[in-house]
């Protein structure tokens, strides 16, 4: 299911400045997101929160959808971490129960002790409870793996969709800028050639005047005529 977000929630940041792109529309982004989601459906992707490149890209593209999904993914990862810790602890607890069962079983056989039998029964019950807890944790871990994968792809799909929308916009602007740069280069070349022509003309005139009047007189004329001007 695709959600619609206000445009202000999707924006590009360049050098810490928000870049305005009126051409970018939410419906365009959502269409791209739907297409990207289909492409990524069967791909195994790295967890974005653990990817340094993701954090670099996220500095430039801001999305309310991404921020929300990131928080949800973070909570899932935290829960996954807690469950993995719990699984290890309950595995140790179960192993300890099994060791105690062996010890108590030996005592019960040697003494035919009713207390030992009662203790053995409690240990069996505790072991079953530990087994059930381990099974519950395994089931939840399987669910979380799927939820993490779905949430992770949701984030990546949003990023790609927003990113490509801005890529298209920037490419169009780049074409315009390239044409303007080419025109400016041509104009600069014309002006540079004109300047060279002027300098050549001045050099020829001064060379002639220097040869006729002399350099010192020309300097006097330059100063005098310049002042009158």
Structure tokens at 136: 């519950």
Q: With contact defined as beta carbons under 8 Å apart, do 156 and 45 qualify? A: yes
Rounded CA-CA distance 66/64 in Å is: 5
Residue 11, strand partner residues: 62
pLDDT bucket at 115, cuts 50 / 70 / 90: confident
Other Cβ atoms closer than 10 A to 152:
24
Quote the pTM value: 0.62
pLDDT digits (tens, 9 = 90+) for 120-165: 889 899 999 999 999 999 999 999 999 999 899 888 888 888 877 7
Vertex 196 angle, CA 190 and 202, to 5°: 135
Report the C-alpha dihedral over residues 31, 32, 33, 37, rounded to 10 degrees: 110
> How far apart are alpha carbons 87 and 7 in whole angstroms?
44
Parse the chain into domains and list their residue ranges: 7-171
| Nearest partner of 10 among 61, 54, 49, judged by Cα | 61
Query: Rounded to a whole number, what is the largest CA-CA distance in the chain?
Result: 139
CA separation (Å) from 59 to 46, 147, 190? 19, 25, 42
Report, as an integer, the average pLDDT of 163-172. Answer: 78
User: Over the chain, what is the mean pLDDT?
Assistant: 80
**pLDDT tens-digit map of 15-61:** 455 555 544 556 666 667 676 777 777 777 889 898 888 888 887 77
């Amino acid at each position: 299911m695709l959600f619609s977000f206000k445009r202000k929630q999707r924006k590009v940041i360049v050098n810490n400045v928000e870049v305005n792109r009126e051409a970018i529309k939410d419906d365009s982004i959502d269409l791209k997101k739907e297409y990207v989601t289909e492409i990524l459906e069967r791909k195994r992707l790295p967890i974005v929160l653990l990817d340094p490149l993701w954090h670099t890209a996220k500095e430039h593209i801001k999305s309310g959808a991404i921020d929300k999904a990131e928080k949800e993914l973070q909570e899932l990862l935290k829960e996954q971490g807690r469950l993995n810790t719990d699984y290890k602890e309950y595995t140790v607890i179960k192993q300890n129960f099994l060791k105690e069962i062996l010890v108590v079983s030996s005592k019960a056989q040697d003494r035919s002790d009713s207390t030992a039998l009662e203790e053995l029964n409690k240990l069996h019950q505790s072991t079953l409870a530990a087994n059930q807890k381990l099974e519950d944790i395994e089931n939840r871990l399987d669910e979380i793996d799927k939820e993490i994968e779905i949430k992770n792809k949701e984030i990546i799909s949003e990023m790609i969709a927003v990113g490509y929308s801005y890529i298209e916009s920037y490419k169009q602007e780049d074409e315009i800028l390239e044409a303007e740069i080419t025109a400016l280069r041509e104009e600069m070349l014309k002006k540079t050639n004109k300047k060279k022509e002027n300098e050549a003309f001045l050099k020829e005139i001064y060379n002639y005047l220097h040869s006729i009047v002399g350099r010192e007189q020309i300097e006097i004329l330059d100063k005098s005529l310049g002042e009158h001007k």
